Amino acid sequence: MRLTVLQSALASLLAATAFGAGPAHAEKTKFEFWYGLSGDLGERVQDACKKFNDMQADYEIVCTSQNSYDTTLQNTIAAYRAKKQPAVTQIYDAGTLDMMLSGAFVPAKKLMADNGYTIDWTNYFSGIANYYATAGGELNSFPFNSSTAMFYYNVDAFQKAGIDFKPETWEEVEEAARKLKAAGFDCPLGFNFDTWQMMEQFSAIHNQPIATKGNGYQGLDAELIFNKTKFVDHVKFFKKMVDEKLFVVKTKQLGMDIVPAFASQTCQMIQTSIADHGTIGKTLPEGVKWEVAMLPVWKGTQRQNSLVGGASLWVMAGRPEGEYKGAAAFLNFLATPEMAQWWSTVTGYIPVTKTGFEAMKANGFYDKAPYKGRELAIASLTYTPTSQNTRGIRLGGFTQVRKEVSTALEAIFMQNADVQAELDQAADRSNAVLRRFEKTYAGQKLN
């Protein structure tokens, strides 16, 4: 019969007393946490782990970076099959359906209830929670590093070009780009082939579907239809702007991605995650004026809420009971308003709970220059109640779908390929991915 943690500690104490030893201390219960962040953000995860270990004496969390989101998902699945899985793992948005159908996790609500924690699940922003919840609204995992896409622009460059407005529509972005070009700026707007901001966020705020069946929430038989929506016209617009040298492709492969392009003042407008807010603030030369805004919409559009990005924390099945007590304590620790503010301060990610956000507003966090504008990410995520097109994306093999669309965008902008033809082919290839996924999980239904 397996001993509980308490019984083990008691047995150790009795054994030590029998042999005349000094006072015994129960060993801390160790458990593992795998995450996909690296670099500066990875170091901040390590800081969070250290804070947890330092504030209590019962548990020791061992935190290990897997270096990327993709690798974390793959390694977690492989480890589970080998019965060597961590207690907690960070899985990005695109891997949500894979985890749901795996059955290899302990649902968030069950974990916390089993370990004596009373959680107000409605405290999570719905625009964030819905991405990781069942059809009935119950969270499977814990929202952790959450973000959404925003529009960044160089105020100093705007002033030099005689631009006196904040771009709220793509028509105004084009106007600003033309004025910046006329004023001598070679890269008015820089962009890359990241489908998260260019396709997924665009589709959400314009209330456009990416796939049928409520973007996959209603069944594994969903089909991609991004090649039949306003996204096609949006890509054609970008192609026109590229041809006129008003928008410029900026990628790592070409020597400079969009964030360093903006931070170095090479490009004067970009769209990227709010999580990059801290990096941009630290790397732009001191004194340079810049601002962040919600993503532009096309004129006449009724703006909808944007999508959450980032990842959530899943508790894996098949671990010892003592580890679940530690995992619950760690997740409860991360959810405190104090940790929510610390995490947002050192990373740029947004608070995932209403109480965390309200506490930060109350103490003036968003009034301080380094953090001003980050509250707009919450405004974007909560702009409207979620619709079938803005709840999230729940498609199997979505990582591969993103790669197919990114490949199409690269062909369009770098090889002058036809927009409609490339997007049609990308949709066909992506639907083949969905059909393989559907076959793998034949008979399973989404809850």
DSSP 284-309: SPTT--EEEEEPPB-TT----PPPPE
Of 16-25, 145-154, 289-298, the poorest mean pLDDT is in: 16-25
Maximum alpha-carbon separation in the chain: 87
- Residues 107-131 have a mean pLDDT of 91
The rounded distance, in Å, linking the Cα atoms of 102 and 89 is: 14
Give the pLDDT band of residue 86 (cuts 50, 70, 90).
very high
- Residues 177-196 have a mean pLDDT of 98
Statement: residue 1 has pLDDT above 50: no
Statement: residue 21 has pLDDT above 50: no
Per CATH, 28-147+308-367 and 149-305+396-440 having the same topology is answered yes
The rounded distance, in Å, linking the Cα atoms of 140 and 131 is: 10
Phi, psi for residue 139 in degrees, rounded to 5: -70, 130
Statement: residue 18 has pLDDT above 60: no
Q: How far is CA 52 from CA 55, 90, 145, in A?
A: 5, 17, 17
Return the pLDDT at 110: 94
The rounded distance, in Å, linking the Cα atoms of 377 and 295 is: 10
- Residues 221-236 have a mean pLDDT of 98
Give the pLDDT band of residue 8 (cuts 50, 70, 90).
very low
pLDDT tens by residue, 26-50: 789 999 999 999 988 999 999 999 9
Return the pLDDT at 6: 32
Statement: residue 3 has pLDDT above 60: no
Of 5-9, 68-72, 425-429, 431-435, the poorest mean pLDDT is in: 5-9
- Residues 364-384 have a mean pLDDT of 93
Query: String of b and e for 148-174 (b: at least 16 CB within 10 Å)?
Result: bbbbbbbeebbeebebeeebbebeebb
Return the pLDDT at 337: 87
3-class state of residue 227 by DSSP? helix
Task: Please report where in the chains the tokens 């970008």 appear, as a residue.
Answer: 238
Q: Are 76 and 95 in contact (CB under 8 A)?
A: no
Average pLDDT of the chain, as a whole number: 91
Statement: residue 355 has pLDDT above 60: yes
30: enclosing H helix or E strand:
strand 29-35
Return the pLDDT at 164: 96
Contacts of 366 (CB under 8 A, 6+ apart): 360, 372, 373, 374, 375
Return the pLDDT at 135: 76
Share of the chain above pLDDT 90, in %: 81
List the strands of the sheet with 269-273, edge to edge: 269-273, 149-154, 290-294
Using alpha carbons only, how large is the chain's radius of gyration in Å? Answer: 24
Statement: residue 9 has pLDDT above 70: no
- Residues 70-90 have a mean pLDDT of 96
Which one, of 8, 41, 42, 46, lies nearest residue 25 by Cα?
8
Return the pLDDT at 25: 56
28-147+308-367: which CATH topology? D-Maltodextrin-Binding Protein; domain 2 (3.40.190)
64: enclosing H helix or E strand:
strand 59-65
3-class state of residue 329 by DSSP? helix
Quickly list DSSP for 138-206. -BSSEEEEEE-EEEEEEHHHHHHTT--S---BHHHHHHHHHHHHHTT-SBSEEE---HIIIIIIHHHHT
Return the pLDDT at 130: 86
Return the pLDDT at 248: 98
| DSSP one-letter code for 24 | -
Statement: residue 262 has pLDDT above 80: yes
Query: Which homologous superfamily is 149-305+396-440 in?
Result: Periplasmic binding protein-like II (3.40.190.10)
Give pTM, 2 decimals.
0.89
Q: Are 318 and 103 in contact (CB under 8 A)?
A: no
Phi, psi for residue 258 in degrees, rounded to 5: -65, -40
Statement: residue 14 has pLDDT above 60: no
Give the pLDDT band of residue 137 (cuts 50, 70, 90).
confident
Which one, of 262, 302, 296, lies nearest residue 376 by Cα?
296
Q: Where are the domains of the chain?
A: 28-147+308-367, 149-305+396-440
Lookup: tokens for 170: 């793509």
Give the pLDDT band of residue 189 (cuts 50, 70, 90).
very high
